[in-house]
Structure 1
Amino acid sequence: MDRREQAGVASYEDIDLSSEHPPPADSTAAPERESAPQKNEDEEKEFCLKVPDDHKRRTHSLWAKFLANLLYFGVSLGMTLFNKAVLTTFHFRFINVLLLCQNVLSIAVLEGLKALKLIDYPQWEYKRAWQVLPLSLYNFLRIITGLAGLAYLNIPTNSALLRVGTVFTLMFEYLGFGWTPTATVTISVVLQVVGAFVASWNDMYLTFEGVCFVLLSNVFAAAYLVEMKRDLEAIPHPRPKAKQGGPAGEVYSLMIYQSLTFLPLLMLWVMVTGDVANALHFFTTTLTPRSVEFELCFCFALLLGALLVFSSMVANQYTSPLTVTVTSNVKNISADLSGMALFPDVTITPVYLLGLAVSVVGAVLFSVSNALRVSEDGDSDTRAEGGGEDESNTSASSQDAAQSLFGADV
């Protein structure tokens, strides 16, 4: 009798060679594993479980992370400026209608690009839509509570309290993923929050209702970013040959699911507030001869709003929820500086400039800390690749295992 049969090990003739991962040459599988029932095709297409990210599923270069955040920064800054022009310069007060139009445009663009075969993502699955529903709910509650808080606070106070959201993101990253920030990152976050309060000190106006609503908005914003990070890891992964779109397809897939599940919530809210009728009245009776300028700003605000969802998901996929939050803080600082030149309603004081400077120092400290950490991670990866033969084989087998679990490059 063959020595492999005596050991109870399946021979290669007994193994289905059509399997996705053929057994290694030194396979020593136990008899129980041989008799285990094979997964059918439906089970193979099951969504992967939401498990804490350990920072090792994908590694991205410093330049890739920088470009992802730069895209998010540019789109977010542009949308902030165009939104401000639409809402204040042209007095279009119906932000819910603006959000609804941005969401509809996102769906139309994604479906149009897919129809033209320029992008691809998996087909609609109700189970996946149910998984993404909490993400849309967090986003909806973030917007509603944020607008409610603005009704009780002035803009400088609201802006300062929103910067506290960075602290909530730190907390949610720890609760959701077990990520513990370094001392440098913690100091940088504190500096950004303190700088925001210093900048708003002269105009600080606090009410109990306003503070509660804004803090709730911060909680939902942090939950939204952390849930987005989880959902980016829960994209359906069928067999490699059937994958659609690769890493970019994961973003497109989550984007279409979020837009479609967010749409009913937003439509219901717009109907309750009656903003549609008011917006139609604005378009038909209120516009002045400057309507062409308004229409251009409105169209750019819609386009950038659709791009913002994509860019925030890319930045979150390549970095972390905290990095996206800090990038948003830097965007707010840049928007403040741009507002000084573009809009006449921004008051400049020495205290305001001091607060901006403190926030900038905190943001720079965070960026440098992250850059050094990424550089150290890259050096350690390079040293690991230069190890002995046994270490290399172990690393390769670990990568194969991770690919089979998560369907992604490691």
Structure 2
Amino acid sequence: MAKGHEMIPVTDPSGKTSSSSAMSRKGAYAAASYMACAVLLVMFNKAALSSYHFPCANVITLFQMVCSCLLLYAMRFWDIISFSAGETQSVSYNPATMVPHKTLLHTIPLAVSYLLYMLASMESIRGVNVPMYTTLRRTTVAFTMVVEYFLTRQRYSHPVVGSVGIIILGAFIAGARDLSFDSYGYTIVFMSNICTAVYLASIARIGKSSGLNSFGLMWCNGIICGPILLLWTSISGDLERTLKFPNLFSPGFQAVMALSCIMAFLINYCVFWNTMLNSALTQTVCGNLKDLFTIGLGWLMFGGLPFDLLNVVGQSLGFLGSCLYAYCKLQGR
């Protein structure tokens, strides 16, 4: 990707710089892009796992990773994109890794957290209905705040903490009448929340110190995690079960898989973009804001919780808390 022109701050009549305004707009674009991709990705993954009863969630993750690496390699090879902010299009690079080996080693903790995040997130979708999945996932904000504190000593203002508290309260109220309690499914979702928090905090910490942009971080994640996941799916027999899957060559299933891979590529980019431009907690709260659309589509397409007053109150509280958080960030709190 060709580098854009360097932004020169310009003071407006109120004394504020236009660069900070542009930065706010970029942050808003990043957040909106993530939310749109996230809604679609959950729908396509749920369709593959539930509607077509595909038995191997890890293979879907592997397909997404392979497609992402192929796209990144092709775009970098043809100088459409670069992997670091200060990289020129004519820079020489190692055709095997495309990034310095030292940088690749530096991103290993991020890649490991990414692999755990992907596997846990994919498995958590299978055993829980979409409305309850999004409800439980809202508690990720609490995990993110804790992980950010231990990794970066990040502290948040009282209004931000209060908005997060409202989000969590809404999640518990919304899920109070879930009669399809599944201890395994719930445990996997909470494990997914922890992995998500660690992954996002790792992006904020390692991503900014690595010198790589979003494409570069995605590339390192893919070439480190891809071989590990391929070995795992081979040993576990998932690849063999995939070859025997009756709907493997069904046009509908292949279309769902293709769209899932495209959305996975886009959402990975948006996660890096949003987290590095805003923060790990902002990225998590964006996931809560998009839940309103995910829940609506989930009810229509896959079924789920009965629509009752208690659930509406809980979902509304979660949405209110997310909006309050967004307001606090806009006010610089």
TM-score (norm 2): 0.81
Determine the structure 2 residue equivalent to 1:198. 173
5+ long unaligned stretches in structure 1: 1-57, 237-248, 375-410
Partner of 1:132: 107
Distance 1:209 1:296, change over 3 A: closer
Amino acid at match of 2:214: V
Query: Residues 1-400 of structure 1 correspond to what in structure 2 (within 5 A)?
Result: 61-121=23-83, 123-145=98-120, 159-203=134-178, 213-236=188-211, 250-282=213-245, 285-286=246-247, 291-345=250-304, 347-373=306-332
Amino acid at match of 1:72: Y
Q: CA offset at residue 78 of structure 1?
A: 1.2
Amino acid at match of 1:196: A
* Partner deviation per Cα, 1:33-80 (whole Å, 9 max, x = no partner): xxxxxxxxxxxxxxxxxxxxxxxxx96622111001111111111111
Equivalence for 2:8: none
Identify if the C-alpha distance between structure 1 residues 295 and 148 changes in structure 2 by more than 3 Å, giving closer, same or farther.
closer
User: Aligned partners of 1:208, 1:294: CA distance in 2, in Å?
Assistant: 29
Partner SS state of residue 234, structure 1 = helix
Residue 102 of structure 1 aligns with an amino acid whose one-letter code is: Q
Q: CA RMSD in A?
A: 2.6
**Contact 1:97–1:275 (CA under 8 A) maintained in structure 2:** yes
Distance across 2 between alignment mates of 1:334 and 1:194: 20
Question: Which secondary structure does the structure 2 equivalent of 1:91 belong to?
Answer: coil
Question: Match for 1:74: what amino acid?
Answer: A
Alignment correspondent of 1:381: none
Give unpaired runs (5+ residues) of structure 2: 1-18, 85-97
Query: Structure 1 pair 146/310, CA: closer, same or farther in 2 (3 Å)?
Result: closer
User: CA separation in 2, counterparts of 1:287 and 1:265?
Assistant: 23
Q: Do the aligned partners of residues 93 and 210 (structure 1) sit closer, same or farther apart at CA in structure 2, a change above 3 Å counting?
A: closer
Which whole-Å CA distance do the structure 2 matches of 1:169 and 1:299 have between them?
A: 31
Could you tell me how far apart the structure 2 residues matched to 1:352 and 1:114 are? Answer: 47
Contact 2:215–2:269 (CA under 8 A) maintained in structure 1: yes
Q: Deviations over 1:123-158 (max 9, x none)?
A: 322222222111121122234455666788776655
Q: Give the secondary-structure state (helix, strand or coil) at the position aligned to 1:202.
A: coil
Cα offset, 1:99, TM superposition: 0.6
- Which is greater in Rg? 1
Q: Is the 8 A contact 2:107 2:210 kept in 1?
A: no
Q: Which deviates more from structure 2 when the two are superposed, residues 116-125 or residues 98-107?
A: 116-125
Alpha-carbon shift at residue 363 of structure 1 (Å): 0.9
Aligned equivalents of 2:183, 2:255: Cα separation in 1: 39
Deviation, 1:333, is 2.8
Q: Would the alpha carbon gap of residues 187 and 135 (structure 1) be closer, same or farther in structure 2, given more than 3 Å must change?
A: same
SS at match of 1:201: coil
1:355-407 deviation line (CA, Å, top 9, x unaligned): 11111111111111111118xxxxxxxxxxxxxxxxxxxxxxxxxxxxxxxxx
The match for 1:35 is none
Corresponding pairs, count = 301
Deviates more, 1:151-160 or 1:166-175: 151-160
Is the Cα–Cα contact under 8 Å of residues 225 and 316 in structure 1 kept in the other structure?
yes
The one-character-per-residue Cα deviations of 1:283-322 (angstroms, maximum 9, x if unpaired) are xx3469xx32222222111111111111100001110000
